Amino acid sequence: MIALDFRLWQGSFTLDIDIRLELPVTALLGHSGAGKTTVLDAIAGLRTPGSGSIAINDRVVFDSRAGINVPTHRRHVGYVAQDVALFPHMSVRRNVLYGRREGQKLELATVSRMLEIEGLLNRDVPQLSGGERQRVALARALMSAPELLLLDEPLAAVDVERRRRILPYLERVRDELRVPIVYVTHDRSEATQLADEIIVLQEGRVIEREL
């Protein structure tokens, strides 16, 4: 369960969010500039709200009144940003293993089989195609054993054909690993295919929730 109740000044408007996400996959839907990415940044601790609180699975990671602001690296949130940001100076394998946590159960073999990246592990990042990068970024995030997965338009840069191939990977993550997912997209069909609940954002406010 993710409890969000915060205000964050966003330049042209104030993001004002007060929602509880209790289902496995939530899609944040909205036009570009609606504040979707900022919500993910706030959950991950990359941006600090002006006021309010954020809790991930009942663990408070931000509370302006209590002066709590858990740094990003202790929030255990897997975040695949829109630009995926694979480390360009490391091989795919070192990328995927970068965030591996001590004593976590997930094996590299399992994750790479599920996302079909076994054949990519020894390659360098610049050699990868867009779709391969997104699968590797997803694997890297999963290997850090996140309590929550944040995906920011993970398929935005991918053509329709590839998208049809990648969506099943995300469904497998949802079904096999049971990591809750907050999924940002502006594509309603993507949102309905994957999500249990859709939240529509406009100008930093929730204007619609549908199951």
Partner 1 sequence: MDAWQITAFTVGTACLATLLMLPPGLLLAWLLARGRFRGRVLLDTIVSLPLVMPPVATGLVLLALVAPRGPVGRLFARAGIDIVFTWKAVVLAMAVMGLPLLVRAVRAGIEQVDNRYEAAAATLGAAPLRVFFTITLPLARPAVMAGAVLGFARALGEFGATIMIAGSIPGSTRTLAVAIYSFAETGRDRDAGALVAVSAVIAFIALAASNWIISRQSSRA
Applying CB under 8 A, which residues contact partner 1? 44-46, 71-79, 81, 83, 85, 87-89, 98-99, 101, 140-141, 144
Instruction: Report in angstroms how near the CB of residue 117 gets to partner 1 at its nearest.
Output: 17
State which residue, 72 or 193, has the beta carbon closest to partner 1: 72
Backbone dihedral angles phi then psi of residue 101, each to the nearest 5 degrees: -95, 145
State which residue, 34 or 148, has the beta carbon closest to partner 1: 148
Q: What is the number of other CB atoms lying within 10 angstroms of the CB of residue 200? A: 19
Q: Minimal CA–CA distance to 198: which of 68, 45, 9, 27?
A: 27
Asked if 114 and 172 touch (Cβ cutoff 8 Å), the reply is yes
126 three-class SS = helix
Q: DSSP character for 91?
A: B
State which residue, 44 or 191, has the beta carbon closest to partner 1: 44
Instruction: Report in angstroms how near the CB of residue 70 gets to partner 1 at its nearest.
Output: 12
Instruction: Report in angstroms how near the CB of residue 140 gets to partner 1 at its nearest.
Output: 7
Backbone dihedral angles phi then psi of residue 137, each to the nearest 5 degrees: -60, -40
Instruction: Report in angstroms how near the CB of residue 101 gets to partner 1 at its nearest.
Output: 6
Half-sphere exposure of 107 (CA within 13 A, CB side): 4
Instruction: Report in angstroms how near the CB of residue 145 gets to partner 1 at its nearest.
Output: 9
Contacts of 108 (CB under 8 A, 6+ apart): 93, 96, 97, 100, 143
Structure tokens at 114: 């599920």
State which residue, 107 or 208, has the beta carbon closest to partner 1: 107
Enumerate the H helices of 8-71 as residue ranges.
36-44
Instruction: Report in angstroms how near the CB of residue 17 gets to partner 1 at its nearest.
Output: 20
Pairing of strands 77-80, 59-63: unpaired
State which residue, 114 or 143, has the beta carbon closest to partner 1: 143
State which residue, 9 or 87, has the beta carbon closest to partner 1: 87
